[in-house]
Structure 1
Amino acid sequence: MSLTRSLLFFGIPGLAILLGIWFGVPAASARGITLIVSWSAALWLPIVAMLGWTVWRHQREGLRQSFRDRFWLNSIEGKHWIAIIIGLFIVQSSEILLSPTGAYLTQFPLFAPPEIIPELFDPSFTPETGLSTFFGIPVRGNWWLVLFWLGWLLVNIGGEELLWRGYALPLQERYLGKWAWLVNGLCWNLLVHAFMRWNVLTLMPVSLIIPFLVQRYRNIWIGIVIHGVGNALVLVILIPAIAGWT
């Protein structure tokens, strides 16, 4: 996958998500469609569609490689766990340090958030304040939101890592060699996450560390674990809010 193809492969779904968040969500809201439905659809329909295409493409190629080998779904060894622990520490600590940059960048029109945004994605939100709503749904007593977020994680982590690292990164490596991880990470951050571009600096560490480690060890389970643990930490905020502890 050349640089041009990489820009298209990441940019097309990134543009679809951006348009869905900025224009589709307000249109859906005007028709009474809840935020939890409209935001989920805007974010994940392009990803699920592309993932389905990649699986079909793999089948069409005649199964020259098994799905496991083609998508780098290799077993996790001891050295992989060390890389995961170090990667998690760097990602989480750097995101905490860089999180104030999101609110700062929203001062500039280019980085302003969309008209309708869930509290969790709002750049002004801080974990200390606690969650009062979750994608527009009052959190107090709504335990089904935990199941919703677990389902969201399954699509988010499984879909993105299979797509961007499992499918795209090996193809990028053929053309870009040892620098494939850098192109992969920048495309993931700048193009796929354009819908929340005020977090461009906050997301840069995870955007680069995951593809670097996945390419280094040729194993997307590393990305799945780091990506999954990071996003699962939302439960640390969500569960106390549901239980009324905050």
Structure 2
Amino acid sequence: MKCRRTPLTITQAAAIFAAAFLYLVLLLWWMLPFLRSQPGLHPATHWYLIGYALFPPMIGYALWQARREGADTLAKLLASLCVRPMTHRDWKSAAAGIFAVLAGTGLLLGGWSHLAGLDWLPPVNTSPWCIDMSPLEGSNRLLLLAWAPMFVLNIVGEELLWRGYVQSRLTIRHRWQAIGLLWLAFHLPFGVSTMVLSLPLMLVLPFVFERTQNTTVAILIHAMFNGPAFLAAAFGLLPG
């Protein structure tokens, strides 16, 4: 289904990323200390609650802009944001993208750990400072029921906005590299380690989207990278 898309300049795209970045910084500066001051709140829920504040506006903005372009039905909204069923080619692209992201991240993690062992780099920190990644034990594992909807909002929100809306409308050449760098900059508040280890995802995912023009592929790759890693940490399956 063809739909009208209003072109975006790199300045407009950067402004959208900057607005989301500033909102994230505000949440981490104001909301996170407030949540940490609440004695009855499990630390794992801090990021969950921040996510519930952060990601729905991303979805809302992408849908609002698509609606402004004339997407007045669900089918038109999905088409406007490049959400469509997976083809055989899409599945192959998704599998290749997941493999590339995992392999690239593994190589970066291994290389950093090796250099840290030689005292050439500080020890790698795989957990962002603002997210509690310690294992959940006993009944606390039920907190994953609060994490799951936030995780869906996270993946869908970022992909609808970054890929389905912004990247598909960006008018510059080599736009996937520009989107990758802007997406990387959006993660600056999480710290250097997170940015470095996220670099394969930040570049591979926009590249795969550029080839497929299917936001569903991007959602799958993003989910298969973030989800298993978080669950492994939550169940204490990662090395200490």
User: Secondary structure at 2:143's aligned position in 1?
Assistant: helix
* Superposition deviation, residue 208 in structure 1: 0.9
The alpha carbon displacement at 1:10 in A equals 0.7
Q: Identify if the C-alpha distance between structure 1 residues 159 and 57 changes in structure 2 by more than 3 Å, giving closer, same or farther.
A: same
Q: Distance in 2 between matches of 1:12 and 1:147?
A: 30
Displacement, 1:139?
Answer: 2.5
Which position in structure 1 is the counterpart of 2:54? 46
Q: Scaled by the length of structure 2, what TM-score is found?
A: 0.78
Q: Cα deviation per residue 1:182-239 (whole Å; 9 max; x = unaligned)? A: 111111111x211213222211111111111111111111111111111221223434
After superposition, the C-alpha distances for 1:15-73 in whole angstroms (9 at most, x for unaligned) are: 22123224431233235473444433434423311321221222233228811221111
Q: Write the distance in 2 (CA, Å) between the matches of 1:142 and 1:186.
A: 37
1:88 alignment partner in structure 2: 98
Pairs within 5 Å for 1:113-192: 117-120=130-133, 131-132=134-135, 138-172=136-170, 175-177=171-173, 179-190=174-185, 192=186
**Residues 204 and 226 (structure 1), Cα distance of their counterparts in 2 relative to 1, 3 Å cut:** same
Aligned residue in 2 for 1:215: 210
8 A Cα contact 1:146 1:239, kept in partner: no
Identity of aligned residues (%): 23
- After superposition, the C-alpha distances for 1:89-120 in whole angstroms (9 at most, x for unaligned) are 1111211222364996995xxx9x98x63332
What corresponds to 2:187 in structure 1? 193
User: For 2:51 and 2:147, how far apart are their aligned partners in 1?
Assistant: 14
Q: Which runs of 5+ in 2 are unaligned?
A: 1-7
Q: 1:2 aligns with which of 9, 33, 46?
A: 9
Rounded to whole Å, the distance in 1 between the matches of 2:215 and 2:183 is 15
Identify which of 86, 89, 95 aligns with 1:76. Answer: 86
Distance 1:5 1:23, change over 3 A: same
Q: Tell me the SS of whatever aligns to 1:99.
A: helix
Alignment partners' CA distance in 2, 1:221 and 1:62: 21
SS of residue in 1 equivalent to 2:168:
helix
Q: TM-score, normalised by structure 1?
A: 0.76
RMSD: 3.1
- Is contact 1:189-1:207 (8 Å) kept? yes
Equivalenced residues, count: 219
Distance 1:32 1:238, change over 3 A: closer
Work out whether residues 58 and 158 of structure 2, in 8 Å CA contact, stay in contact via their aligned partners in 1: no
Aligned to 1:225: 220
